[in-house]
Amino acid sequence: MYLVRAIQSFNTTTCTKVHTFTKIAVHFILPVRNQNRPYCRNIPFIGLYKRVIGTLPDDILLHLEKKHPKVISLSEESLQCTLQVLNKFGISAADACFDPHIFCMNPISMDNYGEILKECNFTSILPSHIIRYHTLVKSRTIAQLKEKGLLRDDVKLEEILHENFHEWPKECQQPKTFQDTDTNILTIRMSVLESYLQWKLCITTDEFRKYCKNYLPLKHRPMCDIKEALNIAENDIKFNMDTIRRNGFIISSDPTNTKLILENVDTLGGVDVRKVIRSEPALLKNNYRAILEIKKLLMQYNISDDAQQHYFKIYCMHPRTVQERLEQLSKLAEYKILCTNPRVLYMVVHERKMMNRLNKIRAARKQCYSLNNLVASTKLFNTYISSFGEKVCSKDIAILISSSLNVQGITNKSVLDKLRKHKYSLHIALNVIGENIHRLKKLFDDDVIFDNCQILLYPVLELEKFINCFVKIRNGDTSVKETSKVELDATYSTIDYRILTDSQILSLVLYEIEKKYHFSGDGIWNRLEGGMTDTQIANKKLKQSANN
């Protein structure tokens, strides 16, 4: 009977509209119907409608375009997903087709609404009930619902909802006397849920109000889902009660998605996913597919497990956002230098803040930036920008060198032990060190570079000039001595260049650069363009005044 009324309503509405048009309008519309008819085959909903109902009204496409335009673009997969959810509540495909708006709803929300109506012992659940869920649970009293036959007259809703929590002792339950004439479903549900959570988690009324305000899904999450979410959190993930109480979204999380995360995501950053969730509970807010996609993206961009372990918050983001930010950051010279740092994901999560700070560093003409400056508090960063002179974080230098050189036993400490011998080692820009590593690795083994790692502090072109000279002489090209602008020490005439090792060549290069500055360490300043930069001059004056 319901289907017959729906068909009659559909056709009557269409005919009424056609008859109200002028003759010109009628002649204009009729050809459009005939043209649209063949295209109906390419619209999954119309195909479903014809399979289920058996007939196809001429005006169905026009009706959908006007009343339910979103339905036209839905895929077959989306339609089947909706039908699968509706089937749980005894709603047939035919019932759904006569209420097309049901297909436009979010499947998860639709499932939740149906489950809540089922928990409340609705006599029947129709598509219109799910579509108008908020009206039924918030704007209609219990008495009105009983009057319409949606609830039985003898139903005591509070008692029915208490039955969802079998582990809740009867003596701990404190039923309230709600009047059917002035109470709605939502009020009773929230009262029962608050009482249950007070018993289960020992929360206060203020805490429960914050949950409802900050985590909106909680109000419209079925009791069975809340109970299952708490069970998984407590017994599988092993959250303690204090953590659950502090993070209300754990209570309102979707248990189905949580189970899919636990089943499909073994580890994140080399750490068991349960341990990761315990350290970053907000992970439960994200879809399991999104987490897997982010994991794949981090592998593509060679983000190490160590970096992921420093900032699991990256897995709380949308994959598209992560991809866009990684693409943008990977084009920056600063990111290329800092990408091996364990805290590099901070740049991705807080990309706007990072870009703003990088722009301020450039405007201030600060060359000795480091990730330590970028992640520092606003107060410390502003002090760095406004201060006289500049300095690199020693840990960031050590990380850059140790992560770039594949040497057995190399550590951040061993790198710093070698660099500390140079008094200006913390006043060299990371990009200079990074470029030197890149160029030296083409000619020398990593262990040779590590043994002479102080050479990484010197200007790139200056190093290349001397290295090329010594390598050519070692290879037998003695003409370099006359043609090259490099003036070698006269005492080198007794040296047999052919037997020089790579390590000895780098030592000679360092000796040649520094001898002009009486081995003071000043050879690290770039004078190739006729003088030092303003920052370098300021640094040197500052150090000289400190020494005096």
What phi and psi values does residue 501 have, to the nearest 5 degrees? -85, 165
pLDDT digits (tens, 9 = 90+) for 229-274: 999 999 999 999 999 999 999 999 999 999 999 999 999 999 999 9
Q: How far is CA 416 from CA 8, 382, 395, in A?
A: 84, 27, 8
**Exposure string over 310-337, b if 16+ CB within 10 A, otherwise e:** bbbbbbbbebeebbebbeebeeeebbeb
Q: What is the pLDDT of residues 211-234, one digit of tens each?
A: 999 998 899 999 999 999 999 999
Q: Alpha helix (H) ranges present in 284-424?
A: 288-300, 305-310, 319-329, 333-338, 345-349, 351-363, 371-375, 378-386, 394-404, 412-419
Buried b (16+ CB within 10 A) or exposed e, 180-196: beebbbbbbbebbbbbb
Q: What's the chain's length in residues?
A: 548
Name the residue among 184, 189, 185, 159 with its Cα closest to residue 173.
159
Question: What value does the mean pLDDT take over residues 466-480?
Answer: 80
Q: What angle do CA 215, 216, 222 make, to 5 degrees?
A: 105
How high does pLDDT run on average in the chain?
85
Per-residue pLDDT at 57:
82
For residues 483 and 313, the model is more confident at 313
Could you report the per-residue pLDDT of 190-202, keeping only the tens digit for each?
999 999 999 999 9
Q: Which helix (H) or strand (E) holds 432?
A: helix 430-440
Q: What is the pLDDT of residues 132-143, one digit of tens each?
A: 999 999 999 999
- The CA-based angle 150-154-155, given to 5 degrees, is 60
* 30: its two tokens: 């009729």
Task: Tell me the Cα Rg of the chain.
Answer: 36
24 falls in which pLDDT band (50, 70, 90)?
A: very low
Instruction: Identify the residue with better confidence: 4 or 515.
Output: 515
Which range in 204-208, 382-386, 471-475, 479-483 is most confidently predicted, on average pLDDT? 204-208
User: Which of the four pLDDT bands, split at 50, 70 and 90, describes residue 490?
Assistant: low
Q: What is the C-alpha separation between 481 and 500, in angstroms, rounded?
A: 16
Terminal CA-CA length for the chain: 101
- For the whole model, what pTM was predicted? 0.80
Any idea which residue has 């929300």 for tokens? 109
Residues whose CB is less than 8 angstroms from the CB of residue 3 and which lie 6 or more positions away in sequence, other chains included: 94, 95, 98
Q: Which two tokens stand for residue 122?
A: 């609705």
Q: In this model, does residue 5 exceed pLDDT 80?
A: no
d(CA 421, CA 417): 7
Looking at residues 392-417, what average pLDDT do you find? 92
pLDDT interval class at 547 (50, 70, 90): low
